[in-house]
Each structure stands twice: as C-alpha cells, then as structure tokens.
Chain A
Amino acid sequence: MKEIIRITFGLTLSCLVAGLLMGSVFIITDEAKKQNEQINEHRTMMALLGYDKQNPAPSDFNMHTFYRYIIQEGDVKTLGYLLPVGRGEEVGYDLVILDLEGQFVRKEKVGLTPEAAAEASERKAALREVLPPSKSFTYADSTTVACLGDKRMAYLIPGEFPGFKTFIEVMMAVDPSFEVIGLEIMEHEEDPGLGAEIEQDYFKNQFDGKSFDQVKGLKVIKEPMPEAYREYLESETSEETIPKEAVDMVRRQYQDEDIYALTGATISSQAVTAGVKNMMKKFAYRVEILNDVISHQDIPVVF
C-alpha cells in the first residue's frame, strides 16, 4: 500500500513538473510563433503576386481581408460576412448576413479595426456583441483581396483539402476573372521524394495562368512532362535565363494542357488538382453572390 502511494505520488509530481515546463515554454514562445506565421503568410501572399525585396509593391497597393462565418439559430443557418468598409477616412467592419440562397438578410455595424480583426478572439467578441445570444456562429474561412488603388487586383484564398495521408494546406492567388495567378503549398505531410514534390515549381506552377473554365475541367495525365515545358515552369527561380520569346512560345504551346502527374505520386497530384478545382468553384460561386449583394445594398466596401 505504501509502495503504490509512493508510485502515484511520484508519477503525479513528474507529470506536474513536465506540464509546468511545457506550459511555460508555450506561453513564452506563443507570441513569437504567431508572429512568424503571420509574417510567413504575408510573405507568401506577396510572392504569389510577384512582389519581393527586389521588386517591391507600388505605394497604392493595399490588402483587405474579409471573413466568413456560419451563423446558426436552431435549424436555420445563415452566412455572416465580416466586410471591411470605409467609414470616412478609417476602415471599419460591417457584418452582412445572407441566407443560404444568397439573399440579403440584414447588416450590422461591428466595432472592429483591421488590426483587431486579424485576431480570431477579437472577432469572436465583436460578433458576440452584435448577435443575440440564441445564435451560435463558427468561423468558416477568410479571403484577402489585394488592390491597386481602388481596383481589385487579386483574391488570395487559403484552402485545405485531403492529400495522400493528411490535409494539404495551400494559398492560391486568382485574379478578378478567376484566372489562377499562382499556387503555393503552405503545409503538407506527403512522402518525401514522392508526394512532397508537389511543392516543387515544376508541379505547382502548372496551375498558373489557367482560366476558370480550364480549371473546372482540369484532369491529371500520367505522361512524362516535356523537357521544354519543365524548363519553362522552373524558369522563374532558376539561374539560367531563357529568352523571353522562347518562354512565350512554350507558354502558348502548353497553356491549355492538363496537369502532368508527379512520378510515383499520382494520388498526391490528383488530390491537389481536385482540391484546387473544388476551392475555385466554391470561391467563384460565393464571391459572385457577395459582389451582387455589395452592389445592390450599396455597402461601401474598401476593396
């Protein structure tokens, strides 16, 4: 009996010490980790739009993010969009509620600044204030709109879909007519050397420049990739410079091609292609409805 008490005591104590250590390290590092993630996300967005250190964004470039929530009361579901709107000189947020058919229900002012809106907990508190307690809401997704002056330049859509083993997280940039500008793989756990090749330029750049109609009908083909096409896909980052005319010619030749599967990783290739297709379809459908509502209701959005 004495023995078992000693064992229990010892285990509890070591668990407590371990928990304390892990907890304190978490508290110390959490801030820095979040900051890193934000920096990383921002850098990826800029890179997708073609801006980097050598080629900085013009001064009238700005980005605004809107958030989609699913609001539920009993069995009735509605969609709530947190849209950045211009209030005089400042940017505030409006909650626009739509029903599932895309019809406008109502609009609420929300007390959020763009900085505060980037924090999930701040958004939650602000929504709680304007929504009655009988309604529950869950965060669905966010979209960033990149503008030059007051013209929309691109939508940046984060997405997630199942890969070979677990979820693949991506960030996609599309222009206002839903043509793909670029695709970036943010996180994945595909097999090194096989599925992990989805992050290589020669795979993910195949999506660049595909129009919405092309994306809707994309297929994966299992054929060796032509050498010239591969060189073109890798030309953005490679050190050898290919003459511009040659690049344009290759682009014209292969622009309408389907996606060449990775050797030994057909499932990962198909997963990415299907995921991108799905993301695009859903996104285009939602944005068109949202644009309709914005123009009919005269919501002074900033993008």
Chain B
Amino acid sequence: MPATTKNSFQLVSNGILNENPIFRLALSMCPAVGISTTVMNGVLLGIAVLFVQVFSSCTIAAIKNYIHPRIRIPTYTLTIATWVTVIDLVLAAYMPTAYKEMGIFVKLIVAFAIITMRLETFACKNSVQASFWDGIGMGFGFMFGMMALGLVRELLGMGTILGYDVLGFRPLLFFVLPAAGFFCVGLMMGLFNYIELTYNRKKKGT
C-alpha cells in the first residue's frame, strides 16, 4: 500500500465504515467475542484501544525510518506494550474510578491484532499526521463494532441496555456466554455486507 492520499476526515470514516476492524477486517476477534457482553464494556474497551492505537501509530510513524525491516514486529510489540503500560499506570494513579472499570481491559490490549496490523500496513508507510487520524478512525471503528455487538448481546442476554432494565426479563441467557459471540459477530458481519451490497447496487442502478 503506497502512502495515503486521503484527508483526515476520509481516514477517520475509513476506519469506522470501509475498514471497520471487527466487521470488515475481522481482526481482534478474541475481545469481540469475549468481552462484548454489554454496551459499557464495548465503550470502555473502545476508549482504551483508541488511546493505545493513536499513541502507537504516531510513535511508529515518527521513527519508521530507523526501524530495521527484519525486527519491525518486535518493535511494534514493544511500542504497544510500552504505551499500554504507561496508560495503565497513569489511569491507576490519576483516574481511580475509571481505572476500576477499565483496568482489566487495558492490560488485554497488548495482544490485539488490530493494533499491530495497523502499524504494519499503515503507520510505517505514512506521516505522523495521517497515522494519527487513522488511529482515531480505527479506535472509533473498534468502539462502534464492540458497542453494536454489546447492544445485541446485552439486550438479548440480560434484557438491559447500559445496565438499565429495558425488557424486564432475560430473554436468552445464551447470548452473554462466549459461544454466542461467534453467532453475533457472524450475523452482524453478514448484515453489514448485505447493507453494503444493496447500497452499491442502488448506486449502480441510478
């Protein structure tokens, strides 16, 4: 992929729609399946990923000329791990209430495929500015995907949205179990593809 020519808005919307990490790139499926049991989990993990992605992308974009191609993957991992640790420590120290909710998610991010993949395909070929916007887009795209999944699973599994009782009963407990994550991801991916197909067909027709 050559250096991008898109502007910042296109980069952000690209991350949310065209290359949505969960529904289009199908990356970072482990958290998508494991943690998307409630909307709130999706929001918190999304925020955490957003920060790590932006910081890591900018770092790699800034030092891309000094990275030996043979050791780029270890360098990416090191960068991500460093930022995850820094964010974890800062959150624990200065935002204890937020950390209480997010702490467990932040530590998980080191192993997320989406961040490494974004560094490999985008940040190491583009400017710091473009990488910044790409990181924002990917972070929000991930958050959007997790929230959409969380909404379906929380509503169907526990009958609540954001902890508020909407239905008054629990329709199918199965949906909060890990296995249901696969069903939800699959079905939502299908839905997204269907919407895109019909949209493109209409566009061609007119």
25 contacts between A and B (CB under 8 A): A7-B68, A7-B70, A10-B66, A10-B67, A10-B71, A11-B71, A11-B74, A14-B78, A15-B78, A18-B78, A18-B79, A25-B85, A33-B93, A36-B92, A36-B93, A36-B96, A40-B96, A192-B41, A193-B37, A193-B38, A193-B157, A193-B176, A263-B173, A264-B173, A264-B177
Q: Distance in Å from the Cβ of A13 to the closest Cβ of chain B?
A: 9
Q: A15-B78, A18-B82, A21-B82 are in contact. Are A29 and B92 (CB under 8 A)?
A: yes
How many residues on A have C-beta within 8 angstroms of the other chain's C-beta atoms? 28
A21 to B94, CA, bound (A): 18
Please measure, in the bound complex, the distance between the C-alpha atom of A300 and the C-alpha atom of B86, giving whole angstroms. 47
A69 to B: closest C-beta gap in Å: 28
Q: How far apart are A104's CB and chain B's nearest CB, in angstroms?
A: 42
**Any chain A CB within 8 A of the CB of B89?**
yes
In the complex, A28 Cα to B90 Cα: how many Å?
Answer: 9
Chain A residues whose C-beta falls within 8 Å of the C-beta of B82 in the assembled complex: 18, 21-22
Q: Is B70 touching A26 in the complex (CB atoms < 8 A)? A: no
Q: Mark A188-223, 1 if CB is under 8 A from B, else 0.
A: 010111100000000000000000000000000000
A15 and B74 alpha carbons, distance in the complex (Å): 10
A10-B66, A10-B68 given. 18 additional CB < 8 A pairs?
Answer: A3-B70, A7-B71, A10-B75, A11-B71, A14-B75, A14-B78, A22-B82, A22-B85, A28-B93, A29-B92, A32-B93, A32-B94, A36-B93, A191-B37, A192-B35, A192-B38, A193-B154, A193-B176
* Residues in A whose Cβ lies below 8 Å from that of B111: none
Q: Closest B-chain residue to A31, C-beta based?
A: B93
**Chain B residue with minimal CB distance to A263?**
B173
Known contacts A18-B78, A25-B86; A193 and B92 CB within 8 A of each other: no
B89, A25: Cβ atoms under 8 Å? yes
Residue B195 lies at the interface, judged by CB distance under 8 Å to chain A: no
Q: What's the nearest-Cβ distance from chain B to residue A25, in Å?
A: 5
- State how many angstroms separate the Cβ of A121 from the closest Cβ of chain B: 19
Report how many A-B pairs have Cβ atoms within 8 Å: 67
Which A residues are CB-close (under 8 A) to B154? 193
| A6 part of interface (Cβ distance < 8 Å) | yes
Interface presence of B113 (CB below 8 A): no
Total chain B interface residues with beta-carbon distance under 8 A: 30
Could you tell me the dominant secondary structure of chain B's interface residues?
helix
- How far, in angstroms, from A21 to B157 measured CA to CA in the complex? 43
Q: Which B residues from 177 to 202 make CB contacts under 8 A with A? A: 177
Q: Are A29 and B35 in contact (CB under 8 A)?
A: no
Judge if B166 is at the interface, Cβ distance under 8 Å: no
The answer on a CB contact under 8 Å between A22 and B86 is yes
Shortest distance between the CB of B36 and any CB in chain A (Å) = 10
Closest 8 CB pairs of A and B: A29-B93, A32-B93, A193-B176, A18-B82, A36-B96, A193-B37, A33-B93, A29-B89
Which residues of the other chain, A, contact B86 by a CB distance below 8 angstroms?
21-22, 25
Please give, as numbers and ranges, the residues of chain A lying within 8 Å of B176 by CB-CB distance: 193-194, 264
Chain A's closest residue to B170 (CB) is A263
B40-76 interface code vs A (CB 8 A; 1 in, 0 out): 0100000000000000000000000011101100110
The answer to the question of B148 belonging to the interface, with a C-beta cut-off of 8 Å to chain A, is: no
Among B67, B75, B81, chain A packs the most CB atoms within 10 A around the CB of: B75
Instruction: Looking at the assembled complex, report how far the CB atom of B152 sits from the nearest CB atom of chain A, in whole angstroms.
Output: 13
Contact of B104 with A by CB under 8 A: yes
Within 8 A of A (CB), among B90-117: 90, 92-94, 96, 104
A73, B39: Cα distance in complex, Å: 55
Give A25 to B38 CA distance when docked, in angstroms. 32
B-side contacts of A15, CB under 8 Å: 78
Q: How many Å lie between the Cα of A191 and that of B89 in the bound state?
A: 23
- Complex Cα spacing A89 to B150, Å: 59
Q: Which single member of B35, B37, B68, B90 contacts A6 (CB below 8 Å)?
A: B68
Q: Which residue of A lies closest to B90 (CB)?
A: A29
B119 nearest CB across to chain A (Å): 14
The distance from the CB of B159 to the nearest CB of chain A, in whole angstroms, is 12
Q: List chain B residues, Cβ under 8 A from A32.
A: 93-94
How far is B127's CA from A298's CA once the two chains are assembled, in angstroms? 75
Query: Which residues between 127 and 178 of chain B lie within 8 Å of chain A, taking CB atoms?
Result: 154, 157-158, 173, 176-177
Chain B residues within 8 Å of A31, by CB: 93
In whole angstroms, what is the CA distance A30 to B88 when docked? 12
